[in-house]
Structure 1
């Protein structure tokens, strides 16, 4: 990565750095950029977890099979996206039997603290959610209340009645379908005691509403990790708003890194962010949308 452009611009603005400071700044920036986010995908077999991952990140990252249940152990898949990495953790769903549910309770409790984002996938037309509800309230919700980035994903919403109303050319629901999708969102929000904003209806196979899901993930991430989600997602799923939010978060993070390295105090951070924005070579190395 070309950081020389950045340091030259800082110097022109009167922010001088020693060789040792530049090494520390480079090291910290690289730590931020090389961070590998871990996304946990929860849900019962057959809800479309694999197809959702494939659609979100633009790769065949998981085997798609509705024939037999997943292994009882979580499956981790490390994706390489143009030099960037993200780990997807396919977590087995609850509700098979009591013995396995006890194992899964321990498994969920162990995995959740390690995740940057947790997605709980539910089939949009599924009415049997009692096992999901119990596991969420007993095990997952305490982590969400402590700040874990979490969303329910209503997948396969193209199958919501009246499914023949689905707009094939526009890849979107018809008017009555949209009303029923919203009713489902409200129902899930009520049953799980979460805000409706935490429930994202999508169709992985139709690529419907994936942009919104990526948006919400980016907006909810800490500022130093937003860029990792944007750089990992399939480009067609990344909105201009998500790009801008990731850029702003990264600039603020780099500003704080430089501020701490040169020991200038908070008054310099605004100037540093302006300098970063003018370091075109530095920016082009980081953001594919430039």
Structure 2
């Protein structure tokens, strides 16, 4: 069954559940719900050149949206890719990496500032084995000074398999050794402190498929409520864990609750009608919870 068929059926069911509301309120509420369903998020990928930003992006979403070059930075401008699943579209803004040359950095920092307010979330890749993050810090602080909101940034330690002592990486189980794990924990704590990160910083390896499920869960939790369900739709199937889906579903139910409350606020209420609206709200949100998987 197609997405449009599912959406049509859900739309009819929602209108029926709201049919006791006056005037055009049911139609207006369902229209707002559907606008949220078809919202097209934009995620920015930023950080230092060679940090594995594009590789991480390709591992998260299917089909892989970004080109990758093992020798030189591939991205010289903002590449805007789209990932499409059925009628849903996600945009990835893949930014050029900083710290290649001073001349390019001046251009790139301008791009970062110009785009920062247009993004639902900014994923910032920090190389796990990097000794100095001064360029990342300088660029990040410039964005904050220009008005960017700290909660819109999700920092991630990339290329965890290269953390010293890199020769100890457990190739059979695709995970770090005890020594590497200890060093990754130290670097994670350092990143949290230096960047005053709002969201958890998690160490991952795209090539080794290490910690990606945990990081996908952090990604969905960091997203604004209006985009977490839409983004969850585009994750690779193996990354749509139960926790990812529960977080996205509850976020969407919360939005539906706000839509209901704003619509109900225009209804002239008495004590009896208030109680009826409360029961209707509970039934409406229960229905949203049940049909979420048909919408996303």
Matches within 5 A, 1:1-290: 1=7, 2=9, 3-11=11-19, 15-16=20-21, 18=23, 20-140=24-144, 143=147, 146-190=149-193, 192-195=194-197, 197-262=199-264, 263-264=266-267, 268=277, 271-278=280-287, 282-287=291-296
Aligned residues of 1:171 and 1:207 also touching (Cα < 8 A) = yes
- Name which of structure 1's ranges 117-126 and 169-178 shifts more when overlaid on structure 2: 169-178
TM-score of the two chains, using structure 1 as the length reference: 0.86
Question: Paired residues, what number?
Answer: 281
How far apart are residue 52 of structure 1 and its match? 0.4
Secondary structure (helix, strand or coil) at the match of 1:114 reads coil
How far apart are residue 44 of structure 1 and its match? 2.5
TM-score of the two chains, using structure 2 as the length reference: 0.84
- Name which of structure 1's ranges 148-157 and 94-103 shifts more when overlaid on structure 2: 94-103
Aligned residues of 1:186 and 1:196 also touching (Cα < 8 A) = no
Change over 3 Å in CA distance of 1:184–1:36 after alignment to 2: same
1:75-106, Cα deviation, whole Å (9 max, x unpaired) = 11011023211111111122223222222222
Change over 3 Å in CA distance of 1:75–1:269 after alignment to 2: farther
Q: Distance between the aligned counterparts of 1:58 and 1:199, measured in 2?
A: 23
Higher relative contact order (CA 8 A, sep 6+): 1
Aligned-residue CA RMSD in angstroms? 2.6
Unaligned residue ranges in structure 2 (runs of 5+): 1-6
Q: Distance between the aligned counterparts of 2:251 and 2:221, measured in 1?
A: 10
Secondary structure (helix, strand or coil) at the match of 1:224 reads helix
Change over 3 Å in CA distance of 1:187–1:82 after alignment to 2: same
1:176-204, Cα deviation, whole Å (9 max, x unpaired) = 211010111123334x3424854221111
